[in-house]
Structure 1
Amino acid sequence: MVCGGFTCSKNALCSLNVVYMLVGLLLIGVAAWGKGFGIVSSIHIIGGVIAVGVFLLLISIVGLIGALNHHQVMLFFYMVILFLVFLFQFGVSCSCLAMNRGQQETLLNTTWNMMSNDTRLSLEKQLDCCGLLNTTASEAQFKIDYTLCAAPCKSKKCYTCGEKMLQHSAEVLKILGGVGLFFSFTEILGVWLAVRYRNQKDPRANPSAFL
């Protein structure tokens, strides 16, 4: 059987969907790791990545079942939804890569200022840091935060929580943006392969049963 025949298309589509399942789990795992680190969860686009990962995981399962059974209806919905996932994933990935340090600082400052003192103290102890960012614009607030800070590092030298969170968020956004953008283009291949496979006849099936 030459590559491009029914069996080859079926195996290729099944393999591609297994890859999509792994990518979906990877996106969910990295995004969850990012959201679990302090107020990095305030970067809402990370929540969008988790949504992409969940949808990609679910649609890959549908595609795998549809490919194994050559199910016309499932393959049709698989093509449509996978194309929509590609558009959303492409947009989210580009947003992750395009978010600069200034935008991240703005989001962190907004979230930090909305927190109560108890929440800030708890976060400082958790991350072993004091204050958010020691900048000219927030110098007064930083002095207050540093005075109230009860983190273990205060007995020697404390890093600011903002620096720790910005470093972490930069890593998370870079990984999510790069992985998401790379694999979003393979989803176009998945759509094309599903269209081709759906229109092929199963040589083992009754020709009159083909839709």
Structure 2
Amino acid sequence: MTCGTFLCVKNALCSLNVVYLLSGMLLIAVAAWGKGFGIVSSIHIIGGVIAVGVFLLLISVAGIIGALSHHQVLLFFYMVILFLVFIFQFGVSCSCLALSTGQQEKLLQTTWNVMNDDMRQSLELHLDCCGLFNTSTEQFLRDVQLCMAQCKKSQTCFTCGQLMLLKSSSALKILGGVGLFFSFTEILGVWLAMRYRNQKDPSANPNALL
């Protein structure tokens, strides 16, 4: 049996979607674990991770059903959605790999500004730091007053921006690399779905092999 046969392409497409299914379940489980142990207290972050996990579950289930039933319409929408996800993920992954230190600082500052006080305090407690960057004295003093980190008692606190920048470069490279890898698996999924969709099922129509 060669790899281009109907059964081989069907099994490959099902296997790929099983991987997406497990990835979605893992994301949901990690989000629930992080919320349960108090590692992440922001409902927005938890909700975002769970939304991505649910989306992966839905698209993987659609791919598996489409592959098992050889459903033309379902496979078509599966291809379109997966291709759009590839474009988005490929762009985000390339952006992660290309971000400079100055751009990372601007991104952190923008994110810090849209956070409420509870989210900032949760981050400061987790990283044991106070404030983001000591660029504005007024803002820094306000952040220090609201800070509840343990390091505040010793008066030797690092800013959260310094700590996050130390880890952000390697984290962005890992995220960009993993995202880039998975984006190519999505292209593989599009190709498999397109090839499988255009093949005839020999068990349903034996004359197709003649």
Structure 2 length-normalised TM = 0.72
Structure 2 stretches of 5 or more lacking a match? Answer: none
**Aligned-partner Cα distance in 1 for 2:109–2:9:** 51
User: Is the Cα contact below 8 Å between 1:96 and 1:173 reproduced in 2?
Assistant: yes
Give 2:202's aligned residue: 203
Following superposition, the deviation at residue 10 of structure 1 comes to: 0.9
SS for the counterpart of 2:94 is helix
User: Residue 41 of structure 2 contacts residue 122 of structure 2 at CA under 8 Å; is this kept in 1?
Assistant: no
Query: How far did residue 169 of structure 1 move?
Result: 4.3
Q: How does 1:119-138 map to 2 (within 5 A)?
A: 123-134=123-134, 137-138=135-136
1:203/1:128 CA distance change after superposition, 3 Å: same
SS at match of 2:158: coil
Aligned length: 199
Distance 2:95 2:174 in 1: 12
Displacement, 1:82? Answer: 1.5
Contact 2:129 2:158 in 1 (8 A): yes
Name the CA distance, whole Å, in 2 between partners of 1:116 and 1:52: 23
Measured in 2, the distance between the counterparts of 1:159 and 1:102 equals: 19
Question: What's 1:107 paired with?
Answer: 107
The one-letter code sitting in structure 1 at the alignment partner of 2:173 is: K
User: For residue 20 of structure 2, what is the aligned residue in structure 1?
Assistant: 20
Query: Kindly tell me: are residues 117 and 31 of structure 1, through their superposed partners in 2, closer, same or farther at Cα, counting changes over 3 Å?
Result: closer
Separation in 1 of the partners of 2:116 and 2:79? 47
After the TM superposition, which of the residue ranges 140-149 and 162-171 deviates more from structure 2? 140-149
Distance 1:193 1:64 in 2: 12
Deviation at 1:16, TM superposition (A): 1.5
Whole-Å Cα distance in 2 between the matches of residues 94 and 50 of structure 1?
Answer: 24
Q: Partner residue of 2:96?
A: 96
The answer on whether the counterparts of 1:13 and 1:67 sit within 8 Å (CA) in structure 2 is yes
For residues 200 and 119 of structure 1, what CA distance do their matches in structure 2 show?
52
Structure 1 unaligned spans of 5+:
none
Q: Is the aligned partner of 1:11 residue 2:11?
A: yes
The one-letter code sitting in structure 2 at the alignment partner of 1:175 is: I
Partners of 2:188 and 2:148 lie apart in 1 by 54
Q: 1:151 aligns with which of 141, 149, 152?
A: 149
The answer to whether the 8 Å contact 1:133/1:163 transfers is: yes
* 1:93 positional shift: 1.5
Q: CA RMSD in A?
A: 3.7
Which residue does 2:67 correspond to in 1? 67
Q: Is the Cα contact below 8 Å between 2:16 and 2:189 reproduced in 1?
A: yes
Question: Which residue of the partner structure matches residue 142 of structure 1?
Answer: 140
Q: Quote the Cα distance in structure 2 between the aligned partners of 1:82 and 1:10.
A: 17
Q: Are positions 1:84 and 2:81 aligned together?
A: no
Go from structure 1 to structure 2 and tell me whether the alpha carbon gap of 1:53 and 1:101 turns closer, same or farther (over 3 Å shift).
farther
Conservation of the 8 A alpha-carbon contact between 2:129 and 2:157 = yes
Q: C-alpha distance in 2, partners of 1:117/1:83?
A: 39
Aligned-partner Cα distance in 2 for 1:198–1:101: 45
> Alpha-carbon deviation of 1:105?
1.6
